[in-house]
Each structure stands twice: as structure tokens, then as C-alpha cells.
Chains A and B, each alone.
Chain A
Amino acid sequence: MEISGSEALWRALLNEGVEMVFGYPGGAIMPVYDALYDFADDIKHVLVRHEQGAVHAAQGYARVQGRAGVCMATSGPGATNLVTGIADAMLDSVPLVCITGQVSADLLGTDAFQETDVIGITIPITKWNYQVTTAAEIPEIIAKAFYIAQRGRPGPVVVDITKNAQLEMLDFEPVSIQGIKNFDPNPSLNIEYVEQAVEAIKESDRPMILCGHGVLISQCESEVIDLAERADIPIACTLHGLSAIPSGHSKYVGMLGMHGNYGPNLLTNESDLLIAIGMRFDDRVTGKLDKYGIKAKVIHIDIDAAEIDKNVAATIPINADAKTALQAMLSLVEKAERPEWFARFAECAEKEFSTVIDAETNPTEGGIRMAEVISRVSELTGGEAILVADVGQHQMMSARYYKFKYSNSWITSGGLGTMGFALPASLGAKAGAPERKVVTVIGDGCFQMTIQELGTIAQQNLAVKIIILNNNYLGMVRQWQELFFEKRYSFVELENPDFVKISEGFGVEAERVSTRDGLMTSLKRMLDSDGPYVLEIVCEKEENVFPMVPSGASVSDIRLE
């Protein structure tokens, strides 16, 4: 059957099971949008307001669906607007297929209207990219793009399609791929290392599991819990590992990293065995590397060989899918009990509670505090919501104080720390998980980076519950200026617009609350509303996130105040 390249693109996407695409049209992708006109019943296209919104929405969608998100943009400025999100997905291992239009093949390299070297620009921030210049390539390249984006360690793929390829005719046959030459997404498990790992766990007095994003990707949450329960091992999560383990689980001891919990950070340097699962020892987790895990052997389980020994040398390297590795370990691991070791974590938790958490979450005077908002949201939603957070103090407070009940319920920009991520990501998350409550927590600074996506949310009537924690500051930067730059507040204060009016202007219901007395009712009203809702919460202006591992310090130099 002879069809156009554009039609072939949609058929190839359908063949991959794609149900939703986030995009924005323009000259070099018009044939694709024209073909979409006939596929509107089969694929839902969400028209965003800026291409950055499309890519972050696709990320949010990918995270809740556990498969590749798809976004689409025209050449030139459309494609370059995707760049931040692609880089974000690369660092956070989010599977994406980004399709960009390109000028006709005969114009390539001539500085044609809206021509940019998208392949060149995205090489360092993609897992793979490819420029299609003939229609005949489309079915195979799309199949390959999905295979690569989703298999092994997931990541973003860019397919740049020249306009002539969109218009040319081809004989279409659906392609499905069982494997790609030279790309092995599933490295085989070395059983010797598994045995060594089991032995190391047996010999260890103070082991600790570091649970990363890979646990969610590999869907081995229950294996991690089994291991922790059987061998009595505390589990700490990285920022992206959050929600993999229910916050209330008896083996869960909290979050790692710069603003993580006191115990997991401090005790990293008392542990004699770190069992790292699907995490990459990011500098926000390790602090000063040569003072990290100073007494510990390291078991490092990661599907990406390049992560092993990259930052922290592995005593026992296990380059494999985490689920496969853990299942093999579980068949060998022996029961153990380590009450004294757990008591150390309990002591630390107690200390953190009395010096930080209690005052933060249950204040009686002063302005509303971010931590109390998150705690109340956590209580009101029963920990059952998908929580999306932007970047800054409000993000760290969300990570610290929401008590997750279900896995895969936490979406934020970790590796790149992209301000403006949350609003579009939350609309993607809601679109991908309509049955779940989606609450997004955004700072006043972040909100203004992608505020236009309120338009998308309104047009699609996506019931995202948007909380703006407004401190009239770029709070996280202000905190650093206060602590490390002698309180020289350099360009961090914001004179903000009326967020309620703006939201209403977009057609989104909105209200503002600034007193503790009104907080609960406002939160309830927001959560009980049917559609999208913006709740601006005026917060204490100068609060700081603690505990904190100052940048460049050792994890055990974590400060409680």
C-alpha cells in the first residue's frame, strides 16, 4: 500500500502502541500534522503552548506509564525549544521519542529557513538520534527509536525527519524489532558476583541499601523489600528512588542526599556495606567523594556498565538488570537480624524529628511553612497521590515530607534540576494516569518559567492540583546566599504577578491562602474540586531547608541547622 511518509509515521507510532503525543506544529512538520487530521480518533495529540512544555509533558507521561513518551516539534526554534527537556530526560533516564521536522534534504546545510543542525545539537544529550531523509526509512527508524529509548537504561531519542521524507510515498509495511545489532539491553548476570554479594551481606554488620530510580524502572520494588526484610537491611532512597518503598515501611530509613534525612547520610560513613541498586552516586548524593562510604564495601547493581566505577569504585560490580540480579541474590541470601544497626537509624530519626521536623511540620506561629503544607497534603491524600515537584526549596520539602503509599508516585527533575519542569510534567502525568490524583508543587520562580502550560491544562481540562508555594524568592538560591555568601542577596527577590488572576485568566479555578487557619479548608477545596485548580500558598519568606550537606562537604558533616 502506497502512503506518504507522514502517514507512515503515524502508522508506525500506532504500531508501537502510542496513544498520546505532545506537540506543536510549524512549517517543517506540516505534512505530519496534516496526516494527523485523519488519525485524530486513534491518537490523542495534546497541543502545548511551548515545545519545552511538550517534552516535559512527555516525560511526565513516560514516568507514569513506564514506556516512552512522544513529543513533536517543527524544525529550528521548535526543535531547539525541546533541548532542555531532552537533556533532562537524558540525565534522569526517561524514555522519550522526540520527533522533529527538518527542512527538505536538498536544503540541508544551506542555512535554509528554520534549519538547525538538530542532530549535531542533540548528540550529547540523547541516547541515540537519527536524521531520516527518505520516506522508506520511517517504519524501521521509528521502531528502532522506541526499542532504544525503552530498553536497557532508558533515555531520549531524537528522530529528525526532513520535509521531503514526510511528503514522499512509500510502500508501507509495519516493522517490529526483536533486537538491534550490537545493542545489548540486558547484560547477562555474572553469578560469581551474585555469590560474592550474598557473602558480603552475610559478613556485614551494618549494611545499607541505596535504592535508586533503577528500582522503579526495573520494577523490582518488592525484591528490594524482600531483601531488606530477609537480611534485615535498612533502605534509603535517592531523590528519584522515592516512592519505590512505602514511606511507612519498617525497613525504610529515609532519603539520601544534600537535603535528605540525617540518619541515611550520617550513617553512610558508618556502614560497612553499601548495596547500591539502580543509582549512580550523583554528587548530590555522595558529597565529597573521598569522604564517602569510608568504611564500606560497595555492591553496585546497574544495567549501565558505564555507571559502575564511574564515581564510586565497586567492590562487587553487578552489571545487570536490577530485578534479575536481586532475584538471583534472594535465592541465596540468609536471614539475619540487626537490631543495633536499626537502633542507630532510629536515634538519628529522633534527633532529626526533634531539631527539624517537628517544628517544620507543626508550627504554631509565623507564616505558613512549606513542610507543613506538604505534610497536610500528605495526610489529606493519604499518601496516594502522584506528587510532581519543581526545583528549589519546595522540591526538597516535597521530597522530605510527602509520605508515599504507592510506588511510581514521585516525579521531579533530579539530574538537570530544570526549573519549569513541574507544570508541564504534571499535565503529562495526569494525562497518562487519569485515574490518579496528581498534585504538583511549584515555586513562585519555577511557575513563571512554564506558566503558559496553564493554557494546555485548561484546554484539555486535566484535573491537576497545582500548589504554588510562594515565598517571593528564588528561595533555594537565597538560602545558599544566606549560608555561604554572607547573606548578600543578589537578584533573588521576586515581585510576582497576581497568580490567582492569571490562573483565572487561563480559565483555571484559583485561590490564595496566607494564614494557617485557612490552610486546611483551602487544601480540601482544591483536592475536592473536579477540574484543574491553582492554590497559591503564601509562605514564610526566609525559611531554609535542613538538614543539609553543604556542597563539597562529606555526607557525615550533615548539618541539622
Chain B
Amino acid sequence: MERLYTISAYTENHPGVLHRLTATLTRRKINIESLTVSETEHRGISRFTIVVRTTPSLISKIVKQIDRIIEVVHAFVSEDNDLIFREIGLIRVAADDKNKRPEIEELAHRHGAVVTYATDSSLIVEKTGEEDDINSLFLLLEPYGIREFIRSGRIALRKSSETRELGSPSGKGEDIGAATVDFQQR
């Protein structure tokens, strides 16, 4: 049975990493539901958040294949109940009829969204939340006429606060002295 998984991968910030990472998924024909890359608390280290739908047995194999990529510092997978996750939706709602604007603003407000921009003919409503929250607001705004809709990829943090020391090899191979070369800093 396929399920939704969120893969988090700390990587060196380096062109080519995206390609290498997604190739791991595409060769198994796994579709990416969403993908976000951003900076992290560690300088020179990016964090990929990739949402995929696949089977439990495949996901662990894929994460191991991602984890062995040289530029990947650490990768792990989580399911939704272990995560705090957010997406942002931007919805351009038709508002040619000026009388409808307070109604739309009120609706947005009640659903924890804000109107971030207004033109003569439309309003841009911004909503941060889980996918479902954004979708339900979308449905409520639909009767006013939706001109454009876009949703960001997911960003996610694990609920547990366990963190991992980055930047040193995880094992203690005999060959690895303390002086590890840090390519990012040079």
C-alpha cells in the first residue's frame, strides 16, 4: 500500500545535488509530490524536503540510496504524524465587484489567512497551513472566482527535538583523523 512520506536530506549546497537526489527517485518512477530546498542552521548546508507517495518497503531503500550520496550529510524519512509541516498557498480571487471585498477579507481572516495584495480587479489571499487547510480555503473562495492558485512545497520539522551533529563522519573509521577537510569552507 502506498503512503505519503516526507524525506528530509541535509546536503552540501552544491549544483548537481538536486539532480543526483531526484535521479534516485525517478529511476524507480516515483513521482515527487512536492520539493523544497532551503538553507539551514548550518552554513553551507541545505535541507531538502521531499514529499513522495510510495510503499513502506521502497521508502527505506530509497532513503538509504539517498543517504549514500557523497554530498548528502544525513537523510531520514518521516510520516505526517511525526511532523510539524506547513505549506503556503497564494490565491488570486476575482474582486471586480468592490462590494464583495469585505466579505472575502472576512472569510480569509476567519480561516487564518490574510489578504496580502489588492489590485483593481483581484485580491491575493495568503494562507499558511497544512495542505488540507489550504484546500478548504480554496473551496470556500471558489464561488468568488479564482484567477490563479499556487501552493508551495512542504517544509517540515520533526516533532521530537533530537538533533544530529553535522559535519563529522558518523563512524570512527581508523583512517579518518580529526582533521577532516571541509570543502565548503575553502
A→B interface (CB under 8 Å): 119-120, 123-124, 127-130, 140, 144, 148, 151, 177-188, 304-306, 308-310
Given contacts A123-B16, A182-B73, A305-B64, contact A177 B181 (CB under 8 A): yes
Which of B104-112, B148-156, B170-178 has 4 or more CB atoms under 8 Å from chain A?
A: B170-178
* Inter-chain contact A186/B67, CB cutoff 8 Å: no
23 of the cross-chain contacts (CB-CB < 8 Å) are A119-B16, A123-B20, A128-B70, A140-B183, A140-B186, A177-B181, A179-B169, A179-B175, A179-B179, A179-B180, A180-B70, A181-B168, A181-B180, A182-B72, A182-B166, A183-B169, A184-B169, A184-B173, A185-B175, A188-B172, A306-B64, A310-B61, A310-B64
CB-based nearest A residue for B12? A182
Task: Please tell me if the beta carbons of B181 and A179 are within 8 angstroms of each other in the complex.
Answer: yes
- Beyond A184-B170, A185-B173, 12 extra complex contacts between A and B, CB < 8 Å: A119-B16, A120-B19, A123-B20, A151-B175, A178-B179, A179-B181, A181-B73, A181-B182, A182-B169, A185-B175, A186-B176, A306-B65
A148→B181 CA distance, assembly (Å):
13
Whether B176 lies near A178 (C-beta < 8 A) is yes
Q: How many A-B residue pairs have CB under 8 A?
A: 93
Chain B proximity of A17: nearest CB distance (Å): 16
Partner of B60, one of A127, A181, A187, A309: A309
Of all chain A residues, the one with the shortest Cβ separation from B64 is A306
Whether the Cβ atoms of A178 and B181 lie closer than 8 Å is yes
B residues 1-42 touching A (CB-CB < 8 Å): 12, 16, 19-20, 23, 27
Q: Which residues on the A side are within 8 Å of B184 (C-beta)?
A: 181
Q: Which residues on B are within 8 Å of A, measured CB to CB?
A: 12, 16, 19-20, 23, 27, 60-61, 64-65, 67-68, 70-74, 166-177, 179-184, 186
B177→A306 contact, CB < 8 A: no
Give chain B nearest CB distance to A184 CB in angstroms. 4
Q: Is B180 within 8 A of A305, CB to CB?
A: no
* Smallest CB separation, B171 vs chain A (Å): 4
Pick the residue among A129, A130, A305 that contacts B67 (CB under 8 A).
A305
How far, in whole Å, are A364 and B108 apart by their CA atoms in the complex? Answer: 91
Complex-state Cα separation, A151 to B176, whole angstroms = 11
Q: For the complex, would chain B's binding face be called helix, strand, loop or mixed by DSSP majority? A: loop
Report the minimum CB–CB distance from A246 to chain B (whole Å). Answer: 30
Closest chain A residue to B186 by CB distance?
Answer: A140
Q: How far is the CA of A41 from the CA of B170 in the complex (A)?
A: 42
Contact call A129/B16, Cβ cutoff below 8 A: yes
A130, B12: Cα distance in complex, Å:
13
Q: Which 10 pairs show the lowest CB-CB distances between chains A and B?
A: A186-B173, A179-B176, A306-B64, A184-B169, A178-B177, A188-B171, A184-B171, A182-B73, A179-B180, A128-B70
Complex Cα distance, B154 from A531, in Å, reads: 65
A305 to B67, CA, bound (A): 9
- Which of B67, B74, B169, B184 has the most chain A CB atoms closer than 10 A to its own CB? B169
Contacts of A120 in B (CB 8 A): 19
Which residues of B are found within 8 Å of A306, using beta-carbon distances?
61, 64-65, 67-68
Q: A309 to B61, alpha carbons, bound, how many Å?
A: 8
Asked if A140 and B68 sit within 8 Å, CB to CB, the answer is no
A120 to B181 Cα, complex, angstroms:
26
Q: Which residues of A contact B177 (CB under 8 A)?
A: 178-179
A127 closest partner in B (C-beta) = B70
Cβ–Cβ < 8 Å partners of B175 in chain A = 151, 178-179, 185-186
Interface centre among A144, A186, A306 (most CB of B within 10 A): A306
Asked if A186 contacts B174 (CB within 8 A), the reply is yes
Residues of B within 8 A of A179 (CB): 169, 173, 175-177, 179-181
- A140-B184 Cα distance, complex, nearest whole Å: 12
The answer to whether residues A186 and B171 also contact, given A178-B176, A306-B67 and a CB cut-off of 8 A, is yes
Q: Nearest chain A CB to B5's CB is how many angstroms away?
A: 17
Min Cβ gap A368→B in Å is: 43
Q: A123: which B residues are within 8 A, CB to CB? A: 16, 19-20, 23
* A177 and B186 alpha carbons, distance in the complex (Å): 14
**Distance of B170 from chain A, by nearest CB (Å):** 5
Q: Which A residues lie within 8 Å of B61 (CB)?
A: 306, 309-310
Scoring B19, B166, B171 by chain A CB atoms within 10 A of each residue's CB, the highest score goes to B171
Measured in the bound complex, the distance between the Cα atoms of B167 and A130 in whole Å is 20
User: Which residues of the other chain, A, contact B169 by a CB distance below 8 angstroms?
Assistant: 179-184
Chain B residues with Cβ below 8 Å from A130 are 16
Partner of B180, one of A127, A128, A178, A187: A178
Q: Which residues of A contact B27 (CB under 8 A)?
A: 124
Cα of A148 to Cα of B71 in the assembled complex, Å: 11
Residues in A with CB closer than 8 Å to B23 are: 123-124
Residues of B close to A310: CB separation below 8 A: 61, 64
Closest to A177 in B: B181
Which residue of chain B lies nearest to A129 when distances are taken between CB atoms in the complex? Answer: B16
Contact partners of A184 in chain B: CB under 8 A: 169-171, 173, 176
In Å, the complex CA distance between A140 and B183 comes to 9
The residue of chain B having its C-beta at the shortest distance from the C-beta of A126 within the complex is B20
A residues near B166, Cβ cutoff 8 Å: 182
The reply to whether B68 and A180 contact each other, CB–CB distance below 8 Å, is no
In the assembled complex, the Cα of A179 lies from the Cα of B171 at a distance in Å of 11
- Give Cα distance in the complex from A129 to B70, angstroms: 10
Which B residues are CB-close (under 8 A) to A148? Answer: 70
- With a cutoff of 8 Å between Cβ atoms, the chain B residues found around residue A124 in the complex are 23, 27
